[in-house]
Amino acid sequence: MASRCWRWWGWSAWPRTRPPPAGSTPTFGGSVEVRDPNATALRNKRRRMQVRVKLGKFQLLLDIQEKTPQICVVGSGPAGFYTAQHLLKHPQAHVDIYEKQPVPFGLVRFGVAPDHPEVKNVINTFTQTAHSGRCAFWGNVEVGRDVTVPELREAYHAVVLSYGAEDHRALEIPGEELPGVCSARAFVGWYNGLPENRELEPDLSCDTAVILGQGNVALDVARILLTPPEHLERTDITKAALGVLRQSRVKTVWLVGRRGPLQVAFTIKELREMIQLPGARPILDPADFLGLQDKIKEVPRPRKRLTELLLRTATEKPGPEEAARWASASRAWGLRFFRSPQQVLPSPDGRRAGVRLAVTRLEGVGEATRAVPTGDMEDLPCGLVLSSVGYKSRPVDPSVPFDSKLGVIPNVEGRVMDVPGLYCSGWVKRGPTGVIATTMTDSFLTGQMLLQDLKAGLLPSGPRPGYAAIQALLSSRGVRPVSFSDWEKLDAEEVARGQGTGKPREKLVDPQEMLRLLGH
């Protein structure tokens, strides 16, 4: 394997159509001159250049566009594609998107619930971006392993890190490592076909599941656990997950939160779906909502509408149709407020038997409200524990600053601190909060900052080889990238496999099978 350390070697450049005249001294950036009678005309044209590059023991002569800003984006989820979309507003910029999975779209493919197909329509926009002649997707390339960030920075004028939050926040309580305890992130990855989670095999033979957390991901997991399997048959949920859910014995799902109804992190859309879930009824304790009517008068409208729906569901008598539906329901879900997990309790066989919870009360007001223990404890029996207390990003490369406490790359408006030419967008920039629209706005801002820096001359001058150099480097390391046209072949295969069972697609979940289908 060639060394990962490489540098520009013997810079030399000339117009593609003729060799450099003897004695010429070429320079780079906006002041390239070639001493011949046509120099003025050549300066005013967008010319191709040849650059000699050394990668380890290899020396390459690469053709590049002299005035083309070469930019790469790491990550092909919403943050990556929205950043690329904004960067392409520059009339000459070329953007390469690198992705460690063989397939694109990140959280849209692997995070959005299978029964929310309308959210995945954003893939159409991302596909249009990928089809641009100045944009390229390169999957099956893991930055930090197959190629380093310093190597990307040598090959491109700017690098944007948009790789999202690939890990989950640990509970950090005793018993977290027991069988039958897993993260909601892994569970979501399992039913959505994320390769690293395809062999999760959750045990759904129990009656009760506990989800620790009260955000949208927690509600997604609860909804998938309780949705009648026949309602999922026409979605893109994986075949393996659907088979396990058909055999599920889970009848009750509790969602546990440290604080109260005014602090839940889910949105009204997800709550309404749970309330209307076929075959399931809600369990809410009216005592948790005492005095809430007066408190919600001053809160922002979205929070007020959400809390009012919770309040009505908990305290008001349902209408005849809803009452009949709930009376016949065989499954149930409930919200347990003011409870903080202390320990996953083991059963005699060494598996999990329940969760020990500390009863809490609230102190402070507004955003400063926090849960403090009262000293009381209670045990909640269950057979499955799913932690949903947040996602977090990982450091991608030792050369990139990283705040391990906040789980983000330190930055100012997307500019990575103390590293000129390096940027970030999405969750790795601001933390795992917000919806896809939030990420769009955030990513556009990073793109805007980068283009401003480019216009102001703050990025490296002179030509950069971009993917041509990285391709040679990857080839020397035995890495075969997957192009967007390759992905479209995999896409067609998934759609064809799904047609036989009435599904929009049957996702491929094994990267090796994907590469075999492509002849890699």
Under the banding of pLDDT at 50, 70 and 90, the label for residue 29 is: very low
pLDDT of residue 48: 53
Q: Which residues are annotated as a binding site for FAD?
A: 79, 99, 107, 143, 427, 434-436
CA dist 8 and 511 (Å) reads 34
Q: Specify if 46 maps to a domain.
A: no
- Please indicate, yes or no, whether residues 357 and 279 belong to a single structural domain of this protein: yes
Where a domain ends, among 389, 412, 428? 389
pLDDT of residue 8: 37
pLDDT of residue 200: 95
Question: Is residue 514 over pLDDT 50?
Answer: yes
Domain holding 153: CATH number? 3.40.50.720
Where a domain ends, among 320, 355, 389? 389
Residue range 111-127: average pLDDT?
A: 97
Q: Which of 460, 447, 456 is nearest to 421 (CA)?
A: 460
Q: Which residues are annotated as a binding site?
A: 79, 99, 107, 143, 214-217, 258-259, 270, 427, 434-436
pLDDT of residue 349: 79
- Please indicate, yes or no, whether residues 142 and 189 belong to a single structural domain of this protein: no
Q: Which of 220, 209, 335, 206 is nearest to 273 (CA)?
A: 220
Write the pLDDT tens digit of every residue in 196-248. 999 999 999 999 999 999 999 999 999 999 999 999 999 999 999 999 999 99
Q: Specify if 41 maps to a domain.
A: no
Under the banding of pLDDT at 50, 70 and 90, the label for residue 314 is: very high
- Please indicate, yes or no, whether residues 380 and 500 belong to a single structural domain of this protein: no
Beta strands at 331-336 and 58-65: parallel, antiparallel or unpaired? unpaired
Write the pLDDT tens digit of every residue in 380-408. 999 999 999 989 999 999 999 999 999 99
Range of the domain at 248: 170-389
Write the pLDDT tens digit of every residue in 470-501. 999 999 999 999 999 999 999 999 999 999 89
- Residue-wise DSSP of 111-164: TS-TT-GGGGGHHHHHHHHHTSTTEEEEBS--BTTTB-HHHHHHHSSEEEE---
Question: Is residue 11 over pLDDT 60?
Answer: no
Residue range 510-517: average pLDDT?
A: 97
Q: Specify if 373 maps to a domain.
A: yes
- Please indicate, yes or no, whether residues 160 and 195 belong to a single structural domain of this protein: no
Question: Is residue 130 over pLDDT 60?
Answer: yes
Q: Specify if 13 maps to a domain.
A: no
pLDDT of residue 36: 42
- Please indicate, yes or no, whether residues 150 and 219 belong to a single structural domain of this protein: no
CA dist 160 and 143 (Å) reads 12
CB 131 within 8 Å of CB 483: no
pLDDT top residue among 117 and 40: 117
Q: What percent of the chain shows pLDDT beyond 90?
A: 80
Q: Which residues are annotated as a binding site for NADP(+)?
A: 214-217, 258-259, 270, 434
pLDDT of residue 500: 87
CA dist 87 and 172 (Å) reads 41
Q: Which amino acid is at 423?
A: Y
- Please indicate, yes or no, whether residues 203 and 144 belong to a single structural domain of this protein: no
- Please indicate, yes or no, whether residues 274 and 366 belong to a single structural domain of this protein: yes
Q: Which of 16-20, 41-45, 411-415, 472-476 has the lowest mean pLDDT?
A: 16-20
Under the banding of pLDDT at 50, 70 and 90, the label for residue 52 is: low
Under the banding of pLDDT at 50, 70 and 90, the label for residue 22 is: very low
- Please indicate, yes or no, whether residues 156 and 193 belong to a single structural domain of this protein: no
CA dist 34 and 12 (Å) reads 12
pLDDT of residue 49: 54
- Please indicate, yes or no, whether residues 278 and 133 belong to a single structural domain of this protein: no
pLDDT of residue 369: 87
Structural domain count of the chain? 2
Q: Specify if 408 maps to a domain.
A: yes
Residue range 254-270: average pLDDT?
A: 96
Domain holding 262: CATH number? 3.50.50.60
- Please indicate, yes or no, whether residues 149 and 211 belong to a single structural domain of this protein: no
Q: Specify if 305 maps to a domain.
A: yes
Of all helices (H) and strands (E), which one includes residue 471?
A: helix 467-476
pLDDT of residue 63: 57
pLDDT of residue 51: 55
Own/partner contacts of 403-407, CB < 8 Å, gap of 24 or more, are 406/431, 407/165, 407/431, 407/432
Question: Is residue 293 over pLDDT 90?
Answer: no
Sheet of 48-55, strand order? 7-8, 48-55, 58-65
Q: Which of 330, 324, 318 is nearest to 228 (CA)?
A: 330
- Please indicate, yes or no, whether residues 351 and 416 belong to a single structural domain of this protein: no
Write the pLDDT tens digit of every residue in 167-186. 889 999 999 999 989 999 99
- DSSP lists the bridge partners of residue 147 as 143
- Category of 260 on φ-ψ map: left (φ > 0), alpha (ψ -120 to 50) or beta: beta
- Please indicate, yes or no, whether residues 264 and 193 belong to a single structural domain of this protein: yes
Residue range 82-92: average pLDDT?
A: 97
Q: What is the 3-state secondary structure (H, E, C) of 209-260?
A: EEEECCCHHHHHHHHHHHCCHHHCCCCCCCHHHHHHHHCCCCCEEEEECCCC
pLDDT of residue 45: 42
Q: Specify if 417 maps to a domain.
A: yes
Q: Specify if 9 maps to a domain.
A: no
Q: What percent of the chain shows pLDDT beyond 70?
A: 87
pLDDT of residue 448: 98
Where a domain ends, among 389, 408, 437? 389
